[in-house]
Structure 1
Amino acid sequence: MFTLPQLPFEPTALEPYMSANTFSYHHGKHHKAYVDKANAAIEGTPMANMSDVEVVRAAKAKGDQGLFNNAAQAWNHSFLWNSLSPMGGGSPMGALKDAIDRDLGGVESFGEAFKKEAVGHFASGWAWLVHDGSALKIISTHDADTALVHEGLTPLITLDLWEHAYYLDYQNARPGFVDSYLMHMINWDFASENYAAVAA
């Protein structure tokens, strides 16, 4: 069964880059709705005993789009909250920085490429830094789709590109939202942990 996790920081911790008002809707309403709908869909089925990752992958494999949409969005949002930090921004350290230098031309080039992907993504979806088994890549997925179900990809960090993620704070200015993420909110420690697990 899915659960709505507590935010890993206070709802005011990312202000002025992301407001407590945004979190009240994004976490308290949007994320909660995905969790509730996913749980309602799997209640009384063998999937109720699966992990959230297993449910997302099983729904994708079965072609159950309704369940996949809600389960994937529940997982994506839980991953998102950990991709944000009040101490975010700046540059990664250690092995992840070395990998970004090697595969993406450095942190500055990473930021430029990530912003281009995120801003250029049409309509709703997610921007990701992933590891494809041999190198780092920047991708985006549409709607509820998640890097989690793309074979060979391991998500390291993400940014929500749905308008509910930024509209209260940035209106239609997605580029400003992406800039704030890269400069002030991206949680490099979380990305480094995920990279260490896959690169070991």
Structure 2
Amino acid sequence: MNNFSRRSFLTRTTKASLAIGIGTSGIGSALFACSSGPDKDTVLDNLRTGFTQSDLPYDYAALEPHIDAETMNIHYNKHASSYAEKLREAADEENVDMDKPLEEVMMNISRYSTKMRNNGGGHYNHELFWKIMSPDGGGRPQGELAEAINESFGSFDEFVSKFEEEAKDRFGSGWAWLVIDNNQSLAIGSTPNQDNPLMNDVDFKGIPLMGIDVWEHAYYLNYQNERGEYISNWWNVVDWNQVADRYDRLRR
């Protein structure tokens, strides 16, 4: 990224600065809170996550051969559906306003129950996961996201290598992520179980741009214990247009 582009990135509106301040109680209301009326912030609408499961944006078989139809069916209709259902139960039990974005809960997760953490994280993570994959995915990012990846990691190939290492080395179940971090830079890391970088008490913090599910239910039917093969093939379905859209919206 040239000097002008970097200065532009660092001096965008206060909304972008607030977006990076992960882990403070005011961030949810400042960035993700839904407003009403003519002043509603439509720029960030696509970043907000609700408490109900969204429709899968493609057929179960659409990501084959990289992700098979049976895995997608079970993953979406059994695992992810259960997270959404139990999240709403937890929200009812803990008097959470489900008209507000789920991100507000994630950013203050230490205030809530284990049930909220596990199912809220599971729901948030999967809602993002479906969105950043596509049957027309693959290739490489373009434009300013590509420039930012090159600046942060040296090259796209180095980025892929580092991301795959994080995903493969996550012990047990979890996720690997590309995020915008507190330094307004791109960063790669992973979280256990259904945790995510939005949570205020995790070691790796940031606003997720993309994430890969490395729970066994995401790949075991097709890849069995070959997690690395699943991760390598996953790049063929990554929708870089969606990832770049998230990046661009957070910078506005």
For the aligned pair, the TM-score class normalised by the smaller chain equals: over 0.9
In the comparison of the two structures, how many residue pairs are matched?
A: 198
Deviation for aligned residue 1:148? 1.8
Call closer, same or farther: CA 1:63–1:48 in 2, change over 3 Å: closer
Question: Aligned to 1:36, what secondary structure does the other structure show?
Answer: helix
Counterpart residue number, 1:141: 191
Deviation for aligned residue 1:87? 1.4
Distance 1:113 1:48 in 2: 38
Question: Aligned to 1:137, what secondary structure does the other structure show?
Answer: strand
C-alpha RMSD of the superposition:
1.6
* Maintained 8 Å contact 2:110/2:200: no
Distance 2:61 2:54 in 1: 17
Call closer, same or farther: CA 1:51–1:198 in 2, change over 3 Å: closer
Distance 2:169 2:192 in 1: 12
Q: Give the TM-score of the pair, scaled to structure 2.
A: 0.74
* Maintained 8 Å contact 1:157/1:190: no
Counterpart residue number, 2:249: 197
After superposition, where does 1:169-188 map in structure 2 within 5 Å? 169-182=222-235, 184-188=236-240
Distance 2:90 2:58 in 1: 30
Deviation for aligned residue 1:150? 4.7
Which residue of the other structure, out of 32, 37, 42, is the alignment partner of 2:86?
A: 37
Query: Which residues of structure 1 form unaligned runs of 5+?
Result: none
TM-superposition CA deviations, 1:71-126 (whole Å, max 9, x none): 11111100100121111111100000000111111111111111111111111000
Distance 1:24 1:134 in 2: 37
Among the aligned pairs, what percent are the same residue? 35
Counterpart residue number, 2:171: 122
Question: Aligned to 1:157, what secondary structure does the other structure show?
Answer: strand
* Maintained 8 Å contact 2:66/2:233: yes
Question: Aligned to 1:138, what secondary structure does the other structure show?
Answer: strand
* Maintained 8 Å contact 2:107/2:200: no
* Maintained 8 Å contact 1:83/1:159: no
Query: Which residues of structure 2 form unaligned runs of 5+?
Result: 1-49
Counterpart residue number, 1:24: 73
Which residue of the other structure, out of 218, 221, 227, is the alignment partner of 1:165?
A: 218
